[in-house]
Amino acid sequence: MPSSQPTSLHECLKSTKYAGIDQDLSLLIEDLAASCISISQAVQQGALANILGSAGTGNVQGETQQKLDIYANDVLLNAHSHTGRLAAMASEEMEHIYPVPNPVGKYLLLFDPLDGSSNIDVNVSIGTIFSILKNSSSASTVSEADFLQSGSRQVAAGYVLYGPQTILVLTVGAGVDMFTLDQQKNQFFLSNENVQIPKDTKEFAINMSNMRHWAPPVVRYVNECLSGSTGVRNKDFNMRWIASMVADVHRILIRGGVFMYPWDQREPNKPGKLRLLYEANPMSFLVEQAGGASCNGEVRILDIQPSQLHERVSVILGSKNEVDLIMKYHKTN
Ligand code: P6P
């Protein structure tokens, strides 16, 4: 047990470090934490709650929805529709935006309610990813266009990882903090403050089965990692691929590494698999706040101006020196 009582999320949000955010945003973050505790409990119940397996429906991404995808989405919609803190929500699971009944709130909430769904039935870590924007619209109604803000406009972002522990990872633009859920008290407590990603790494994460489809700069980078100490990098690399972005990013926040889901020629008109607004942008905000870097190969992800709600993007993020090298290969190859 820790020697002194750890600081709760509620107490942290009242500390000077979080003084830059207003009470509505602070309460919105606490609402999110409470929602994700409910989702965590359902995840842990699994088959006992008859909540595993396919829901028999598809989402706007063309993906088969799992029962837990829909449950998590419903929990988030129900928990945030009547707080007065939001104007609208957007979800990976819903084609259109979701204006709340009384859309007077200051903020827009975007989320992937359950990232890594293919891992649900095999009991591998999954998570909820969230991104918060200011509702800058002066109109009385909110439109999709109000959500199309670059990632640099986020006021907060984070995820909740449902793994051996349930961990909330949060940034409001003043660094990255991690909070572990006390399952008895049903409260999050600060467990890792001001997280910093090592600038260098010996670990890369990519789905190697797609190698023959990648662009040359990515092939070059990965081949050099595979050549290890016998090649130009003069060091051996390790590889990880959990197929849950939240879990791969969490590992990188803790011990460094580089995560890649690059463009490939299977669907050349698609910039990438991952979604810009509710996967790449929140993860990029976290990674940069932890001293890492995040790009699409050419430009900083947080600078990309979205043109549609479910826009996809190529993602290369993690240890800064490694991401810089991959960007260099994209410029020279
Ligand atoms: P693949 C999960 O479906 C996800 O969106 C990310 O969490 C993960 O990194 C990626 O897709 C896994 O994709 O093609 O390896 O199954």
pLDDT tens track for 94-121:
999 999 998 889 999 999 999 998 898 8
Give residue 3's pLDDT band: very low, low, confident or very high (50, 70, 90).
low
Q: What is the pLDDT of residue 2?
A: 54
8 A C-beta contact, residue 104 and residue 144? no
Please report the pLDDT score of residue 47 as a whole number.
80
Q: Which residue has the tokens 């929602």?
A: 35
Verify whether ligand 1 is closer than 6 Å to residue 201 (CB atom).
no
Higher pLDDT, 66 or 92: 92
**Residues facing 33 on adjacent strands:** none
Distance CA 228, CA 221 (A): 11
| Cα-to-centroid distance, 7 and ligand 1 (Å) | 33
CA 40–ligand 1 middle distance (angstroms):
20
pLDDT at 265: 96
Mean pLDDT of the chain: 95
Rounded Cα gap, residues 247 and 126, in angstroms: 7
Distances (CA, A) of 108 to 72, 89, 166: 18, 6, 25
All domains in the chain, ordered by first residue: 9-192 (3.30.540.10), 203-332 (3.40.190.80)
| Residue 166 token pair | 């349930």
Q: What percent of the chain has pLDDT over 70?
A: 99
What stretches of the chain adopt beta strand conformation (E)? 54-58, 64-66, 86-91, 98-99, 107-115, 126-134, 156-162, 166-171, 176-182, 187-192, 203-205, 238-240, 258-261, 274-275, 293-295, 312-313, 315-318
Model confidence band, residue 139 (pLDDT cutoffs 50, 70, 90): confident
Q: Return the sign of the alpha-carbon dihedral for residues 325, 328, 332, 333.
A: positive
pLDDT at residue number 270? 94
Tell me how far the alpha carbon of residue 192 lies from the centroid of ligand 1, in angstroms.
26
Q: Which of 261, 263, 266, 279 to mutate to test the pocket of ligand 1 (most atoms within 8 A of CB)?
A: 261
Beta strand 312-313 with 274-275 is: antiparallel
Check if 288 has its Cβ closer than 6 Å to any atom of ligand 1: no
Q: What is the pLDDT of residues 185-223, one digit of tens each?
A: 999 999 999 999 999 999 999 999 999 999 999 999 999
Contact yes or no for 170/29 (Cβ under 8 A): yes
The yes-or-no verdict on residue 1 having pLDDT over 70 is: no
Pocket test for ligand 1, best of 244, 250, 263, 279 (most atoms within 8 A of CB): 244
Note the pLDDT of residue 154. Answer: 98
Q: How far is the CA of 216 from the centre of ligand 1 (A)?
A: 22
In this prediction, residue 140 carries a pLDDT of 81
Give residue-wise pLDDT tens across range 24-61. Answer: 999 999 999 999 999 999 999 988 887 777 888 878 77
Place of tokens 């829901």: 55
Return d(Cα 227, Cα 140) in angstroms, integer: 58
pLDDT for 48 equals 83
Res. 252 pLDDT band, cuts 50 70 90: very high
The rounded distance, in Å, linking the Cα atoms of 272 and 122 is 25
Residue located nearest, by CA, to atom 9 of ligand 1: 245
Q: Is the CB of 118 under 6 A from ligand 1?
A: yes
pLDDT of 276-292, one tens digit each? Answer: 999 999 999 999 999 99
Give, in degrees to the nearest 5, the angle at Cα 125 between 119 and 129: 95
Whose C-alpha lies nearest to ligand 1, atom 2? 116
Examine the pLDDT at 62 and tell me if it is beyond 60: yes
- 203-205 and 238-240 beta bridge pairing: parallel
Q: Ligand 1 in contact with 266 (CB < 6 A)?
A: no
Check pocket membership of 283 for ligand 1, CB cut-off 6 A. Answer: no
pLDDT tier for residue 273 given thresholds of 50, 70 and 90: very high
State the DSSP code for 17.
Answer: G
CB of 219 closer than 6 angstroms to any ligand 1 atom? no
- The residues that bridge with 312 in the sheet, in sequence order, are 275
Count Cβ atoms below 10 Å from residue 139 Cβ, excluding itself: 11
Tokens of 157: 């972002």
